[in-house]
């Protein structure tokens, strides 16, 4: 079987070297490059067919999300796994939204890393069990909170769409509501939650984990 070619984009040499050593023990993976930033990454992707990119989020001069946004449309077959220290549901959701194929923590053990690389083809978005539990726990908290606040299903939809950056016009089209109705819903939601600005509504959605997989 032809080994899958992997590139590591990570600016902490010690961690990148550790990944390189771990991968060297598994013949079905081949390290094709170890880079520190976007300028070093792109020439490799343009010149060599790469199967998997292990991408850090914090790269000093830029961030992994910026690279993800640029690279995924150009190389749609490339499997991109975010590898980071941040155990944060918002970052997980953002990575998924931008087209990442998985999300791993830097404290993952060897078994978790290899399992993730093996399962990329079989899942839309790989999460290790620990992070899946985090999302499930937050989903439970989200449902309890919504029940407590007596938010309607329509209000929840509208909050989530605003939090995802959609305009009242876009929400109107998507939900088949008049623009006046959307604005009235937003006004009522703001009043119910005691919020004063649109940015407060976005922050409210993220702080209360309303953008999970079930929203």
Q: Which pLDDT score is estimated for 213? A: 41
What pLDDT digit, counting tens, does each position of 178-203 carry?
A: 999 999 999 999 888 888 888 888 88
Judge if 143 and 103 occupy the same domain: no
Tell me what the pLDDT averaged over the chain comes to: 86
Q: Which pLDDT score is estimated for 215? A: 41
Q: What is the DSSP code (8-state) at residue 76?
A: T
Q: Enter the pTM of the model.
A: 0.64
Q: Which pLDDT score is estimated for 137? A: 57
Phi, psi of 7 (to 5 degrees): -120, 135
Q: Which pLDDT score is estimated for 148? A: 55
Judge if 75 and 93 occupy the same domain: yes
Q: At what angle do helices 89-97 and 64-74 cross, to 10 degrees?
A: 20
Q: Residue 35's beta-bridge partner residues?
A: 9
Binning pLDDT at 50, 70 and 90, where does residue 109 land? Answer: confident
| Separation between Cα atoms, residue 196 and residue 103, nearest integer Å | 35
What is the mean predicted confidence (pLDDT) over 47-65? 89
What is the mean predicted confidence (pLDDT) over 15-42? 91
What is the mean predicted confidence (pLDDT) over 31-50? 92
| Separation between Cα atoms, residue 5 and residue 177, nearest integer Å | 48
Binning pLDDT at 50, 70 and 90, where does residue 101 land? Answer: very high
Hey, what long-range contacts does 192-195 have (CB within 8 A, 24 or more apart)? 192/149, 192/150, 192/151, 192/155, 193/149
What pLDDT digit, counting tens, does each position of 151-163 carry?
A: 888 998 999 899 8
| Separation between Cα atoms, residue 118 and residue 122, nearest integer Å | 8
Query: How is residue 16 written in tokens?
Result: 């990148």
**Domain range enclosing 86:** 4-127
The domain that holds 203 is classified in CATH as 1.10.10.10
Domain endpoint, select from 86, 105, 127: 127
Binning pLDDT at 50, 70 and 90, where does residue 50 land? Answer: very high
Per the structure, the count of domains in the chain is 2
| Separation between Cα atoms, residue 121 and residue 124, nearest integer Å | 8
Query: How is residue 83 written in tokens?
Result: 């590898």
Q: Which pLDDT score is estimated for 169? A: 95
Residue 130: pLDDT above 80?
Answer: no
Binning pLDDT at 50, 70 and 90, where does residue 214 land? Answer: very low
Q: Is residue 214 part of a domain?
A: no
Query: How is residue 193 written in tokens?
Result: 């939650």
Domain endpoint, select from 95, 127, 159: 127
Binning pLDDT at 50, 70 and 90, where does residue 131 land? Answer: confident
The domain that holds 118 is classified in CATH as 3.40.50.2300
Report strand pairing: 52-55 vs 29-35: unpaired
Q: Going by C-beta distance under 8 Å and a sequence separation of 6 or more, which residues neighbour residue 15?
A: 106
Judge if 36 and 122 occupy the same domain: yes
Q: Is residue 215 part of a domain?
A: no
């Amino acid at each position: 079987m032809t080994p899958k070619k992997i590139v590591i984009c990570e600016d902490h040499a010690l961690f990148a070297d550790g990944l390189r050593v771990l991968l060297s023990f598994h013949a079905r993976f081949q390290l094709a490059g170890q880079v520190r930033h976007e300028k070093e990454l792109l020439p490799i992707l343009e010149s060599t067919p790469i199967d998997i990119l292990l991408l850090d989020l914090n790269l000093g001069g830029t961030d992994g999300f910026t690279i993800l946004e640029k690279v995924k449309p150009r190389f749609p077959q490339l499997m991109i796994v975010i590898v980071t220290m941040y155990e944060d549901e918002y970052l997980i959701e953002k990575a998924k939204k931008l087209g990442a194929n998985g999300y791993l923590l830097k404290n993952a053990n060897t078994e978790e890393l290899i399992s993730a690389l093996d399962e990329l083809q079989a899942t839309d978005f790989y999460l290790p069990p620990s992070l899946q539990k985090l999302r499930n726990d937050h989903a439970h908290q989200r449902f309890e909170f919504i029940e407590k606040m007596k938010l309607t299903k329509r209000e929840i939809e509208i909050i989530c769409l605003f939090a995802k950056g959609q305009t009242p016009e876009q929400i109107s089209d998507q939900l088949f509501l008049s623009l006046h109705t959307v604005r009235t819903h937003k006004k009522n939601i703001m009043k119910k939650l005691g919020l004063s600005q649109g940015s407060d509504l976005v922050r409210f959605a993220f702080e209360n984990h309303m953008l999970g997989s079930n929203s």
